[in-house]
Structure 1
């Protein structure tokens, strides 16, 4: 079963904004709901959250392994890493191992065990950050010019992020931007759907106390969707018209 999903991580001057949908699709007649936002219990000096997309068996196996490693106090776990980049490398290695195990076990030729993750949070006095971990285990982070990362069905929600997100965007404003990006994706792709999870993390706070879960019939989500549609329509109607005086016959080919 594949996680047909959309997740966003925004790393701004004041903190992090994380957003994910909850729909899983293994065919037109097999739609389920699985959360893709995973907050881990860790030592007091760190907060780490992982967003997941891809094969459901792989993502669940990776998340379970990360939890077991911490519980069993293995040498490398989320409590022992000193930097978020180390945590990203650690999760990347686990992901590659789980994917390889499924491939070695054989199965249908169409089976695709790949998974992609976003890891975000803060450790000790280091600045908060977000990393996109590819199926191959390598990873990238955000930049001042591009302060967000996406996984899953990212093409429909990307334009609004490009237009409105800047490194100094306030966290609440960034949260609304992510919800609009998510709504644009849900409108264009039926494999992405509610509930929509939103988490806002304030830098140096080391608490995850601003979490929202919006169901499909949530009053705020409906209002946001309606207002965005109406305002876009108003702007579209008000756009300047091209002059019909510039029209000419189509040149012969």
Structure 2
């Protein structure tokens, strides 16, 4: 499993992904799930992946090959005129890759090689955009009412984002919010784990503003994890106490 999240802010985009692909007492693997390409001054495009590792790596490899030989293969992420068309290209490539692997492995393997992706970026003269790409190749775009997308193990980290997200928040606060979201998910599910990859894209800059890998030993992450746990305990104990003897009478129909 995995967990990736892409968030829209007034200032730009903030993306974070974990790196765990297998889980178990003695079976843990780490693979990058966040990739980006840029033409300074013209565009920056990032892709996060979740699902079957062989499928997602095949899609990334095909995209990388197209970037290395653009004269032979058109419709690359660095040539498409809009982010919508970039999403269309990647969606088609994802669908074709899944179909190829299903056909190679027979009907019983159908669905085994599924994957989903979050595409984010900006092309000069246009707004920053985020798309959620489904295994079927279709996609939806983030809007003010749905300003962030998650893929993978999403349920544990979603509540904190829903409660604390603000489009006007700073990049630094957005990173802090995502760290809390990921820490909550890591605590609840063994299939999500560190290191985490972080990418910040500022509006109209067309190259990463901030990029880093967050290790389990990272002092800021450890402080966030510890203090968030303590803050939750304090918030819990500050809530009104429940009483067996002074409970309100039930309302009759």
TM-score above 0.5, yes or no:
yes
Unaligned runs of 5+ in 2: none
From 21, 38, 41, the counterpart of 2:35: 38
Q: CA deviation at 1:71?
A: 2.1
| SS in structure 2 at match of 1:192 | coil
Aligned equivalents of 1:26, 1:244: Cα separation in 2? 43
- TM-score, normalising length: structure 2: 0.92
| SS in structure 2 at match of 1:240 | coil
Q: CA deviation at 1:247?
A: 4.4
Q: CA deviation at 1:242?
A: 2.6
Native 8 Å contact 1:23 1:32 kept in 2: yes
| SS in structure 1 at match of 2:105 | coil
Q: For the aligned residues, what is the CA RMSD?
A: 2.0
How many residue pairs are counted as aligned between the two chains? Answer: 247
- TM-score, normalising length: structure 1: 0.92
Question: Is 1:83 matched with 2:91?
Answer: no
Question: Is 1:15 matched with 2:15?
Answer: no
Aligned equivalents of 1:83, 1:247: Cα separation in 2? 59
Aligned equivalents of 2:219, 2:23: Cα separation in 1? 29
Native 8 Å contact 1:43 1:79 kept in 2: no
Aligned equivalents of 2:27, 2:121: Cα separation in 1? 33
Structure 2 match to 1:232: 232
| SS in structure 2 at match of 1:245 | coil
Aligned equivalents of 2:109, 2:102: Cα separation in 1? 11
Query: What CA deviation, in whole Å up to 9, does each residue of 1:176-235 have, x standing for no partner?
Result: 101100000000000100001111111001121411211112111111100000011001
Structure 1 match to 2:136: 136
Matches for 1:211-226 after TM superposition, within 5 Å: 211-226=211-226
